[in-house]
Structure 1
Amino acid sequence: MEIGKRLREERLNQGLSLEEVKSETKIQTRYLTAVEENDWSKMPGNFYVRAFIREYAEVLGMDAAMLLEEHKNELPQTSDVSYDYVSTPSRKESRSGNIAFFSFLPKLLVFLLVIGIIFGIWYSYVNFVHPALTENDEQSGSEEGSEIIAPDVDEEESNEEEEATDGDKASEQSEGGNEEQSEEKIQPSLSVEEVDEDAATPLTTVRLTDAESLELEFEIDGETYLWVHGIEDGEVVESFADERVYTSDDSPLTIEASGSNDFVELNIGRASVVNLKISGTEFEYPIDANEEVHQKIHILWEPSES
């Protein structure tokens, strides 16, 4: 018996309809019908035949691996194309403003320390050394018949205090400006909440904070089936992109997925050929995309208060 007939027979034995299988697998009905009819020409590509059969079998509680092995001669051959997976370090841009400020802080402290030392030397000179020299000069001048006029110390101290006050104000303004600039440079932050490799389709849940909008940018090097859905109360309430096969001709693909949904669900049929940025932050697959090419990503979005 062909693999498609076995799946159909098991589905009917369990009293399930194609719509119920579609609801569980998120695979469109026309592809499920093609699987049951062993009609691989209706598939979006040979790569998806095994993936769709595996999900179909798992919903029915069948051993997908054994089923594929027993009927491997019926399945179309896929070309062995190797894709190099390059792990790109995450950009922790949300801390860049703080790092820049704290790297500048030691220089500011050194500068203030030098100013303080110079002021201390000047103050000691004006109040202790200079009066002593003046007194000696007066005594010497009276002996020689010359007149020595001492500088007005109070006026010089007043001028220096005004200059020091102006300097302190300038430093405070500089520090305030750096803090404002640091706040302006706050960037979206992306963190992994949960990774479920045992799900029918491996699932990663991430949280996006301090982002004014949820923007997805896909760089595709090959072909992949893709959809982006808004989910509320477990139901699809919004579709942000066409459900279809995308190729490198569609790259780069930018999708605006902002909304009041509980979360946004990404279904990537071939993660090994897709590089993803979420609101400008590069996303690293916690699950190896070369081993688990079909992956789902749930994005919990917390918009920035600004």
Structure 2
Amino acid sequence: MEIGKRLQEERLNQGISLEEVKSETKIQTRYLTAIEENDWSKMPGNFYVRAFIREYAEVLGIDSTSLLEEHKNELPQTDDVSYEYVSTPSRKDSRSGNNAFFSFLPKLLVFVLVIGIIFGIWYSYVNYIHPALTKDEDSTGSEEGSEIIAPDTEEEKSTDESADKDTTDGDESSDQSGDGNEEQPEKTEQPSLSVEEVDEDAATPLTTVRLTEAENLELEFEIDGETYLWVHGLEDGQVVEKYGDERVYTSDDSPLTIDASGSNLVELNIGKASVVNLSINGVEFDYPIDANEEVHQKIHILWEPSAS
């Protein structure tokens, strides 16, 4: 006996109407009728066949896992697609070049300042100090007649040494000031959400995003209509955690909040993305793939918790 006839017969034996099944599962009557007639062409997609049969069987008290395994040859097949995740340089790495430039900038300014001080001392000496000394010497020579007084080379040497010492002190002071400017306060990293990969050619379009520097992973769904939805935690391609129920959700369930902080790789399977607004840690997520053209979508979230 086909799986659809088997479910229909069991429903009739229990005296349950299709409306009652619809009320329990939130599955539209036309899809329930298609299941009983084994007419998979009327289903919204191959993925929904097993999901709807599982919901239907549980209402009747039938073991859905055994039922699906027994009639697996009757059901349409869905393709399993594996994905390779391409890591991209973090924002912190991309900023390292800029930080190196800005750390070098104070040293450059100090160098320019030292050159300016040296030039100022030299200019003052040539234009003011040295002419004044020469003038004094000329005046003294005039008062004493023809006596010529040789310039005091020791005094000039002392003046030069004093100027050099001042310049050296200025260099050391400026270098110390420059070193102080290099010490930058450590910046606290803020949570960041970025799109890693978009695969529109997969059997079910897949978007991979990365969440970094976040203390938790919280998902919020605003549903305006009807959609099938699940949230799974994955490890090595296997489901290790299930968050929430795997079922059809409606606007009556909105807003739906799920804390998926138990997994570093979370898979979202959204049956009808056009009626679901998704927020990740309070940030609204814009579907890179048009939700009106590709209704059924999957989203992988790679969560890197903050070090704190």
Q: Same fold (TM over 0.5)?
A: yes
Aligned residues: CA RMSD: 4.9
The match for 1:8 is: 4
How many Å separate the matches in 2 of 1:52 and 1:39?
A: 21
The match for 1:25 is: none
For the residue of structure 1 that corresponds to 2:212, the secondary structure is strand
The match for 2:289 is: 287
1:1-306 map, 5 Å: 8=4, 41-42=22-23, 43-44=25-26, 46=28, 49=31, 51=43, 54=46, 55-56=48-49, 60=74, 95=91, 102=98, 109=105, 113=108, 115-127=110-122, 130=125, 133-145=128-140, 152-173=162-183, 176-177=184-185, 180-181=186-187, 184-185=188-189, 187-193=191-197, 195=199, 199=203, 202-204=204-206, 206=208, 208=210, 210-213=212-215, 215-223=217-225, 224-232=227-235, 236-244=239-247, 245-247=249-251, 250-251=254-255, 253-260=256-263, 263-279=265-281, 282-303=284-305
TM, length-normalised to structure 2 = 0.56
Identity of aligned residues (%): 31
How many Å separate the matches in 2 of 1:164 and 1:248?
A: 68
How many Å separate the matches in 1 of 2:215 and 2:279?
A: 13
How many Å separate the matches in 2 of 1:8 and 1:193?
A: 39
Say whether the 8 Å CA contact 1:197–1:287 is kept in structure 2: no
Residue type matched to 2:268 in 1? L
- Answer with 1 or 2: which has the greater Rg: 2
Shift of 1:289: 1.2
User: How many residues are aligned here?
Assistant: 240
- Deviations for 1:53-107, whole angstroms, at most 9, x for unmatched residues? 75329974669xxxxxxxxxxxxxxxxxxxxxxxxxxxx9x63896699399579
* CA distance 1:131–1:216, change in 2 (3 Å): same
* CA distance 1:221–1:256, change in 2 (3 Å): closer
Say whether the 8 Å CA contact 2:22–2:29 is kept in structure 1: no
Specify every segment of 5 or more residues in structure 1 that has no aligned partner in the other structure, as ranges. Answer: 19-29, 31-35, 64-91
* CA distance 1:103–1:276, change in 2 (3 Å): farther
How many Å separate the matches in 2 of 1:141 and 1:209?
A: 78
Specify every segment of 5 or more residues in structure 2 that has no aligned partner in the other structure, as ranges. Answer: 12-16, 32-41, 52-71, 78-87, 144-151
Say whether the 8 Å CA contact 2:191–2:214 is kept in structure 1: no
Higher RCO (C-alpha 8 Å, min separation 6): 1
TM, length-normalised to structure 1 = 0.56
